[in-house]
Amino acid sequence: MKLPQDTSIASKKLTHYLLAWREENDKSAFLMTAGYTSKDAKRLEADLRNQLLPLDAKLADRDEYGDKYLIRGRLEGPNGRALRVVSIWMFEKAGGKWKFLTLYPDKT
């Protein structure tokens, strides 16, 4: 299944979570290996849309909030290095909209 191109990707999710150092579940160091820094939120959003959203999404979980899907793929960063990632997306029951939740390294 393909997710819609207009799926919501909250800029705060990128700037305050993925690209900001965190003591627990830090993703910024992983993304930095591909050249993403805190100044690259717009680039990361564009790359998520152009590189991951066109790939097939698979249903991963259902709960009272909505259906979660995962997309596995390669995310090529500003420095040309490609990262293997798993991205998580959700169709929210309450709002009836698609949104990006997170990503992490694909270790498979």
Among candidate residues 20, 26, 30, 10, the one with its CA nearest the CA of residue 107: 30
Give first-to-last CA distance, the chain, whole Å.
21
Averages of pLDDT over each 10 residues, the chain, 108 residues: 96 96 94 96 97 98 97 98 98 96 95
The whole-model pTM stands at 0.93
Residue 77 in 3-state DSSP?
Answer: coil
The CA distances from residue 85 to 75, 77, 88, 108, in Å, are: 7, 12, 10, 10
Residue in this structure with the two tokens 């909505």, named with its chain if needed: 66
Give the start-to-end residue ranges of the domains of the chain. Answer: 11-105
Quick one: tokens of 85? 């990632």
Q: How far apart are CA 93 and CA 77, in angstroms?
A: 32
CA distance 108 to 96: 32
pLDDT at 51: 98
Can you give the pLDDT at residue 99? 97
